[in-house]
Structure 1
């Protein structure tokens, strides 16, 4: 049980909330963890875990769709039960409460239990980690029972005959991959001119071509305008005068994946006048603090969330700041992201389409590395942006098998400020997909060495100009 005066009250048991609550208990502090739904948040229950489980079973191909979806739910439930047991009885000094938390004043939270009873708890710190939910999209004529989001997608009894997906982001691309593998006809509709707009055009095009090669119909610069239930036809129009789009016929399910909205309503934030951006996300500083003393936030509910691992990273920053007090914090590290399509894609940092003059962009095709031959991996690419002269890594994109794992090497190097040229001579096991990174370093050295004096002169002239302007 928690001590009479806990260090913190944590509202929400997703990645960020669990990180703070369990982290406090492990260093000898007590905490109250409040959750009004399932432990594990969106990721465990309706996000990362079931989606990756479905991708696994669809790639394996040994189970029929109904059994694959059943296995997805079984895996999800097993992990949820494990996490629930961990917070209920497996963690000392952690007091788990089922109910909805609402801020009354700084350090005071009202918990409303499922039976309607209420309780007020107090602590010097409160952490809001309530996550997000799918953004809604109105499609006139679409019956509610045909509308899917990630919240109900994994409850399907079997794969639809024809699944239309609105939104070509990570969720849309991953689910297009999984359901096409399971035999569904899949059509993907994206409002913008390319799918996966987080990526540079060339890597995004690789995923686009791969989906089309699987048999997925993709319509970009298009929007769904209405649904004709009698014929199962989804009407689609071009955006900004693009080419006409043929109707999508015989659709029996529509998955909407057009972004997320924060769960920031009905939390009492307005009572404390908590600063939020125009999207309703809580504004936090580099320590995870809000503008209200003692009130912290992390994850999708903030303006710095977006992924499960980002929420966990911010949870660790809050934990560190809460314990260390006024001591300075290290800079916020760059946070990678990944989409687990076929192939995978992962990226980190800033990579503008137009390369600045003081940046060297290294691009290596990885379809011809030896491991790609053994696995018949197909197209792949590594793109690394490096500051001229210093070798500082500014951003990277990897497309190919294990991209989500490989980007971790780049992430570590960026966090610890290891310049790219210091990678040269690093030995990776053979044959592995890390050979793509090795070749990128080789290409960088080959390009950078002949022009090092020119880069130094360019830097010196730029520095002189900036000093003159002062």
Structure 2
């Protein structure tokens, strides 16, 4: 029987990062992955392939919509080779998966392919695809098995017409009409991919606005921009039935007044969130407690009720984000090494990779109002930036919320070109408890999109934005 200091179950961003950090700290480490490729949902059927399709569809959209104004003329008709687009996405995934395999080898991490399940708190059985198995022993175990798409009780996911994000990433054709159930991050990103490629896209959302967990100002602006691009929205609508009629789908939903609407399309993308995935782990044999919602219960050190077993990422409470899982993976590894790491969950940024991109960190205005915190707000529109005018990306704004008395930055919310990258400036500032004035006094290169952050800080400090 092979013995290890640490065994990690699951090789997604949380799992493989935890394994690497454990190995760096001198632990003999194993990682267990039930699928034949490493990287988990993020690398295989999530973050990476969706961004590959977003980028490809963005290039196509620019070619048919914006090239002429830039003085670029392409003779003949611009056509989509959808098969090649999907193939490129697959190539991007393969490169990233190969990179993870290289990192496992580099850090001398033993990889076991198979389903990992507890026999007790220190022994894990690994069952391979041919049903053969072996058992390993681990002093510590980190559960990092991630999540799976959720659905609604009355919806049957046939994965042909009624699909999840996994199937949406490997479709054989461009939908004529894609109906997206759920106006969150995943649904909007994949919806925009197919919108750019010529699909009619309708989004049905139970709440009164899309991306309901983010600042209301971001939701309003993104709705306006996506409507301008052609996306249709049915907010405050409760889906009550989804039917695959063989050649397409029929969806019925009730609005806020109880009136029923019927939408017909050729595909329905069910994007109503994700659920922790612990199937097959046999947590009961190890004595690990799980909540009624399927979340593995942990303390502030991400330690389960079984002292030598930890859990990270989507299987524990908090936002289901790859970078949150990575931080937790490093955190647990360093805890095991006797160090004293920290994670500030308030400063885990959230991003929507539509175009324009949406990004946020810290508190929203709604949260500050609910908590009774006195704050001041400063904002700056992207259309007032020279860089935005030069690129043609004039939609969006940056908003900074600061404490009314101390001027400490409490939240930053932005929508516009490259805000997925710009949000790191806000995270850095807030990690060091910067004030809006601190940001306003930093030199920002001109012309850049980042100047909007400085201008918003100037506006929040004492309403002295220069270019507005």
The TM-score, its normalising length taken from structure 1, stands at: 0.88
174-183 vs 145-154, which deviates more? 145-154
Match of 2:389, SS?
A: helix
In the TM superposition, residue 404 of structure 1 has moved relative to its aligned partner by 0.7
Please name the residue that 1:219 is paired with.
234
User: Conserved in 2, the CA contact under 8 Å of 1:188 and 1:217?
Assistant: yes
Please name the residue that 2:92 is paired with.
75
CA deviation string 1:57-83 (max 9, x = no partner): 001116433321221122112222332
Distance 1:275 1:444 in 2: 46
Distance 1:27 1:144 in 2: 43
Pairing 1:83-232 to 2, within 5 Å after superposition? 83-87=100-104, 89-92=105-108, 94-137=109-152, 144-224=159-239, 225-227=241-243, 229=245, 232=248
User: Conserved in 2, the CA contact under 8 Å of 1:222 and 1:236?
Assistant: no
Please name the residue that 2:269 is paired with.
255
Match of 2:284, SS?
A: coil
- RMSD of Structure 2 on Structure 1 (CA): 2.3
With over 3 angstroms needed to count, the CA separation of the structure-2 counterparts of 1:324 and 1:333, relative to structure 1, is farther
The answer on 1:269 being equivalent to 2:269 is no
Match of 1:102, SS?
A: strand
Pairing 1:306-345 to 2, within 5 Å after superposition? 306-324=320-338, 327=340, 329=342, 332=345, 334-345=347-358
Match of 1:367, SS?
A: helix
Distance 1:183 1:138 in 2: 31
Gaps of 5+ in 1: 449-470
Gaps of 5+ in 2: 64-79
Please name the residue that 2:317 is paired with.
303
74-83 vs 257-266, which deviates more? 74-83
Distance 2:255 2:286 in 1: 42
CA deviation string 1:360-397 (max 9, x = no partner): 22233222121221122232121222112222222111
With over 3 angstroms needed to count, the CA separation of the structure-2 counterparts of 1:127 and 1:305, relative to structure 1, is farther
Distance 2:193 2:132 in 1: 43
CA deviation string 1:40-99 (max 9, x = no partner): 000000000010000000011164333212211221122223323432x3332x111011
Please name the residue that 1:33 is paired with.
31
Please name the residue that 1:467 is paired with.
none
With over 3 angstroms needed to count, the CA separation of the structure-2 counterparts of 1:135 and 1:230, relative to structure 1, is closer
In the TM superposition, residue 190 of structure 1 has moved relative to its aligned partner by 0.9
CA deviation string 1:214-234 (max 9, x = no partner): 111111111332336277452
User: Conserved in 2, the CA contact under 8 Å of 1:171 and 1:257?
Assistant: yes
Please name the residue that 1:55 is paired with.
54
In the TM superposition, residue 349 of structure 1 has moved relative to its aligned partner by 1.5
Distance 2:113 2:394 in 1: 48
23-32 vs 230-239, which deviates more? 230-239
Match of 1:254, SS?
A: strand
The TM-score, its normalising length taken from structure 2, stands at: 0.88
CA deviation string 1:264-304 (max 9, x = no partner): 23312223332333311112233221121011111111113
Residues matched between the structures, number:
441
Please name the residue that 1:351 is paired with.
364
Distance 2:299 2:437 in 1: 33
CA deviation string 1:1-33 (max 9, x = no partner): xx9642201000000110111112223321011
